[in-house]
A and B are shown apart, each in its own frame.
Chain A
Amino acid sequence: AQKITQTQPGMFVQEKEAVTLDCTYDTSDPSYGLFWYKQPSSGEMIFLIYQGSYDQQNATEGRYSLNFQKARKSANLVISASQLGDSAMYFCAMREANTNAGKSTFGDGTTLTVKP
């Protein structure tokens, strides 16, 4: 069974600084995808970044980067130059293989608050 653990219920960061949100995972599948989503108070789940288990390089999407350490089974999200609009709930998720088939398993999330 797949499991996602996010150990930081809440995080604070000063505007314009970088912040790292932690995520560890557990799976017996050799092929999987890791995702990060942002959920503002409106409720919609917004896709941020994706990392495939066989990808050699860490994924980057604008101010978001994923620090993928396969041996440690960790997939931390780094947000650079934080903005007030980054305040939201952030979820780490996993899905089997590099496909859109199958279910996604989510962690319990981290609430990020960006302070001016």
Chain B
Amino acid sequence: DAGVTQSPTHLIKTRGQQVTLRCSPKSGHDTVSWYQQALGQGPQFIFQYYEEEERQRGNFPDRFSGHQFPNYSSELNVNALWLGDSALYLCASSRRTSGRKSYEQYFGPGTRLTVT
């Protein structure tokens, strides 16, 4: 049973460029959340996708956008990259359900983005 996968592992981009990061959720999961983790800090919530729609959004500008596909995989797009966008981007998947294990959320290994 594959866990959450993310691609690419590392990425180097130049200021002003655009980037797309990809995430495949754990088997059986239908909800994907994206987080940005700057060096030495905790992850910050970017947004969450369920049923191919953005359901909740954190305090991030419109340069950050996303998409969820019918197979539940997701993309994070960042336009007009800034130096400050350099961070580890984490994807987390979960399943919208009630019950004992409804809190479970699994994280992928992350994509480390460097903007020069």
Q: Contact residues of A with B, CB < 8 Å?
A: 4, 33, 35, 37, 42-47, 50, 52, 91, 93, 95, 98-109
Contacts and interface: CB of A to CB of B under 8 A. Distances in A.
Nearest to B111: A43
Contacts of B105: 47, 95, 100, 104
Interface residues of B, number: 32
Interface stretch (B66-74, B77-85, B89-97): B89-97
A100 B94 contact: yes
A102 B56 contact: yes
Nearest to A100: B94
Contacts of B92: 45, 104
Contacts, number: 75
9 contacts: A43-B109, A47-B104, A91-B43, A100-B103, A100-B105, A101-B31, A101-B55, A101-B56, A104-B105
Given A47-B105, A52-B103, A109-B42, A100 B110 contact: no
Nearest to B30: A100
A95 B103 contact: yes
B91 to A, nearest CB: 10
Given A43-B112, A108-B42, A100 B90 contact: no
Q: Which 4 A-B pairs have the closest CB atoms?
A: A106-B42, A100-B94, A103-B45, A45-B107
Contacts of B55: 101
Nearest to A108: B42
Contacts of B35: 104, 106
Contacts of A99: 96, 98, 102-103
Interface string B21-43: 00000000001010100001111
Contacts of A52: 103
